[in-house]
């Protein structure tokens, strides 16, 4: 009996010691999580653990949670992933997570990441601004951890993921006696990932394993912070694989270290500062790859999605491919925009292009309507006058016939038959009539006899000097060098260039075909200046002579040089710094733009397009001039009408025969 009591006491003591050991172990793991959390998430004190239900209900997690909450005073929320639907947006009160500020952190269990991969992907995708850490609640092979990192490190803020795993903390059952054996191990590892380091087998991406329980002080934990900081600051140590279009013209060199055009200067600067390993590929319809309707990427874009390459560079791409794994960095290259047209001698028979052509058709037709009404007013006034003063009613028919025949003959007829008016009445009428006819002669070219023709067909100088001449023409326009892709994303009806040229655009492939189209079909080509002048020497001067084309230079134009990079990649910040260096050096004229700067991009484009028509070209009548002309017209109309009314009311001699 005594022996049984002694054995029972010894067994009970061992159980109590084991239980205490378990609590200490959970507290130690909690302390490790705390230190890692403070290193990774800085000073955030709110945590949400995203776990499967069976993990959350287990005693090990409850002990761990209690230690983290009671000992270290963290605010914790449980998120049971098994109770959710297809919507995994965080935070959400209906899912048991209290709304919080941006200081909130999320830790997800390996049971979700490796056991419910589809759910984890949706969780990451629907919460792109969330910073994640992963805690392993069951044993996971390091090969699987490495595979996870390679797949997700540049997605959904996964670049700085830390992983903590203790072999026995969360795996043992709730049986206390079993725990006595399992609790003897005190291993706790922390995994980090260097995406650029090359492994022995030639693959990129290396797993780094640390013993978290041996990290005793802040200096030990600081190595995590410095690891990632050095990774970003010293990216030149790791060559980045970049795919560029093979455009020999843009990459033409003046000397060994100097390029002729801004594109080459940009690439050269980035190569020097970022240690690019550049692969040149020929341009093609889909050289950047495509994204299918189902979201699957193919071609070079697919390589970027799979982390087989680090960046895509294309100086003309401005169309978002819509992938989940890419962003567009858009430095601005300042260049010059030109038009290529036929070169003809100006015709001496053509009148000067009138300012009214810059207005829309409704305003032009309004001018015509006012002209007709004015002539009718004069005609009716004279008819009324002749009706009262003449016995010969046939004169009325003559007036109507003359009015229909020509406005000029009406003026002559009134000049001949208005002799009965007193001196001042003739002056009023003549001033009124001359102002009306001269005003509308200038606006509608009435004496040319082609009002309707000019209204439906805008005019263009045969030897255009400025872009406004081309914009006002109806000639087809060829966009070469993917000019239309620059505007595709931001185009709207208010853009000057797009509203004038987009509907007239025609497709043309190849330099020779485009240039011959300009000659044969009298079309206009809009391209960058360096292409135009190179084409002049290469294609036209050597064949048919310089007299067959005309280059219309315009103001500096902005091109967008797009760098397609993976989302969340740690070298994104460094790339931005390099682009800013290019800006300071004058290679790029506006620096880096990201998605949140889209308003600034639109403002810049409006400014540039607003300057597209130079002031020295056919200057349109501004609103101030219109107000002045209308005011003078109104005053004359009032004076004339007032004079006639005065004579009708007060002048009895008005109804007497001359």
Q: How many CB atoms lie under 10 A from the CB of residue 295?
A: 9
Tally of helices (H runs) and strands (E runs) in the chain: 23, 21
Task: List the 524-528 sheet strands across, edge first.
Answer: 505-506, 477-479, 524-528, 332-341, 550-560
pLDDT of residue 177: 32
Q: Which fold has domain 333-349+458-558+608-620?
A: D-Maltodextrin-Binding Protein; domain 2 (3.40.190)
The pTM (predicted TM-score) of the whole model is 0.42
pLDDT of residue 59: 63
pLDDT exceeds cutoff 50 at 51: yes
**CA-to-CA distance for 421 and 385, rounded, in angstroms?**
10
Among 35-39, 161-165, 167-171, the range of highest mean pLDDT: 35-39
Q: What sections of 390-508 are H helices per DSSP?
A: 394-405, 407-417, 423-444, 451-456, 467-471, 483-488, 496-501
Structure tokens at 546: 């310089």
Q: Are 421 and 429 in contact (CB under 8 A)?
A: yes
pLDDT exceeds cutoff 50 at 8: no
Q: Tell which CATH classification among 3.40.190.10, 3.40.50.2300, 3.40.50.2000, 3.30.230.10 matches the domain 236-331+561-589.
A: 3.40.190.10
Task: Fill in the DSSP letter of residue 83.
Answer: G
Among 42-56, 160-174, 298-312, 423-437, the range of highest mean pLDDT: 298-312
Average predicted confidence (pLDDT) for the chain = 56
pLDDT digits (tens, 9 = 90+) for 450-499: 333 343 343 444 556 666 666 666 677 775 544 433 333 333 333 445 55
Q: Residue 46: which of 88, 84, 99, 96 has the closest Cα?
A: 99
Q: Residue 36: which of 6, 68, 62, 11 has the closest Cα?
A: 68
pLDDT digits (tens, 9 = 90+) for 251-264: 677 777 777 666 67
pLDDT exceeds cutoff 60 at 420: no
pLDDT digits (tens, 9 = 90+) for 168-186: 444 433 333 333 333 334 5
Higher pLDDT, 151 or 9: 151
Same CATH fold assignment for domains 236-331+561-589 and 333-349+458-558+608-620: yes
pLDDT of residue 101: 41
Q: What is the DSSP string of 392-404?
A: -THHHHHHHHHHH
Q: What is the mean pLDDT of residues 59-78?
A: 65
Confidence grade of residue 105 (pLDDT, cut at 50, 70, 90): low
For CA atoms 585, 588, 594, 600, the dihedral sign is positive
pLDDT exceeds cutoff 50 at 602: no
Per the listing, tokens 């050597």 go with 542
Domain range summary for the chain, segments of one domain joined by +: 2-233, 236-331+561-589, 333-349+458-558+608-620, 358-456+623-655
pLDDT digits (tens, 9 = 90+) for 110-141: 777 777 777 777 777 666 556 667 776 666 77
Higher pLDDT, 211 or 239: 211
């Amino acid at each position: 009996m005594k022996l049984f009591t002694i054995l029972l006491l010894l067994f009970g003591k061992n159980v109590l010691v084991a239980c205490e050991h378990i609590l200490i172990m959970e507290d130690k793991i909690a302390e490790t999580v705390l230190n890692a959390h403070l290193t990774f998430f800085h000073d955030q004190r709110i945590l949400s653990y995203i776990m499967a239900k069976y993990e959350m209900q287990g005693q090990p997690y409850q002990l761990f949670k209690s230690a983290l909450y009671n000992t270290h005073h963290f605010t914790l929320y449980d998120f049971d992933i098994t109770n959710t639907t297809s919507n995994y947006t965080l935070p959400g009160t209906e899912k048991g997570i209290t709304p919080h500020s941006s200081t909130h952190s999320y830790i997800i269990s390996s049971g979700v990441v490796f056991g419910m991969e589809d759910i984890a992907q949706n969780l990451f995708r629907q919460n792109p601004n969330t910073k994640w850490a992963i805690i392993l609640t069951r044993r996971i092979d390091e090969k699987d951890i490495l595979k996870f990192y390679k797949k997700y490190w540049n997605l959904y803020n996964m670049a700085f993921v830390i992983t903590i795993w203790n072999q026995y903390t969360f795996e043992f059952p709730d049986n206390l006696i079993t725990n006595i054996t399992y609790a003897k191990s005190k291993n706790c590892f922390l995994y980090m990932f260097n995406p650029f380091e090359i492994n022995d087998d030639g693959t990129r991406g290396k797993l780094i394993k640390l013993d978290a329980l041996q990290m005793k002080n802040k200096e030990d934990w600081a190595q995590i912070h410095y690891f990632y900081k050095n990774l970003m600051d010293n990216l030149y140590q790791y060559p980045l694989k970049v795919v560029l279009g093979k455009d020999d013209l843009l990459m033409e060199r003046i000397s060994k270290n100097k390029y002729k055009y801004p594109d080459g200067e940009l690439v050269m600067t980035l190569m020097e500062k970022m240690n690019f390993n550049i692969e040149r590929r020929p341009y093609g319809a889909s050289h950047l790859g495509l994204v299918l309707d189902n979201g699957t990427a193919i071609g070079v874009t697919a390589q970027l999605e799979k982390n087989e390459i680090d960046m895509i560079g294309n100086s003309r791409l401005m169309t978002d491919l819509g992938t989940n794994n890419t962003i567009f960095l858009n430095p601005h290259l300042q260049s010059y925009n030109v038009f290529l047209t036929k070169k003809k001698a100006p015709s001496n028979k053509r009148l000067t292009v009138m300012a009214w052509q810059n207005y829309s058709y409704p305003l032009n037709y309004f001018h015509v309507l006012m002209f007709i009404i004015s002539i009718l007013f004069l005609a009716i006034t004279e008819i009324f006058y002749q009706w009262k003063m003449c016995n010969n009613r046939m004169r009325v028919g003559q007036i109507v016939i003359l009015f229909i025949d020509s406005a000029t003959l009406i003026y002559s007829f009134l000049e001949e038959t208005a002799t009965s008016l007193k001196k001042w009445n003739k002056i009023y009428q003549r001033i009124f009539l001359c102002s009306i006819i001269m005003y509308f002669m200038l606006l509608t070219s009435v004496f040319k006899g082609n009002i309707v023709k000019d209204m439906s067909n805008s005019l263009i100088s045969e030897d255009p000097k400025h872009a406004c001449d081309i914009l006002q023409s109806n000639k087809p326009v060829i966009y070469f060098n993917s000019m239309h892709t620059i505007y595709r994303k931001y185009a709207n009806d208010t853009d000057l260039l797009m509203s004038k040229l987009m509907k007239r655009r025609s497709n043309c492939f190849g330099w020779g075909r485009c240039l011959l189209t300009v000659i044969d079909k009298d079309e206009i080509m809009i391209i960058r200046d360096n292409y135009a002048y190179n084409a002049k020497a290469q294609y036209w001067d050597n064949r048919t002579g310089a007299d067959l084309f005309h280059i219309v230079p315009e103001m500096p134009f902005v091109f967008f040089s797009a760098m397609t990079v993976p989302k969340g990649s740690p070298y994104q910040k460094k790339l931005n710094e390099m682009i800013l260096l290019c800006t300071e050096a004058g290679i790029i004229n506006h620096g880096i733009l990201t998605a949140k700067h889209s308003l600034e991009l639109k403002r810049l484009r409006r400014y540039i397009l607003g300057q597209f028509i130079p002031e020295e070209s056919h200057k349109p009548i501004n609103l101030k001039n219109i107000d002045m002309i209308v005011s003078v017209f109104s005053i004359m109309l009032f004076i004339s009408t007032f004079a006639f009314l005065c004579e009708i009311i007060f002048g009895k001699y008005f109804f007497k025969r001359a």
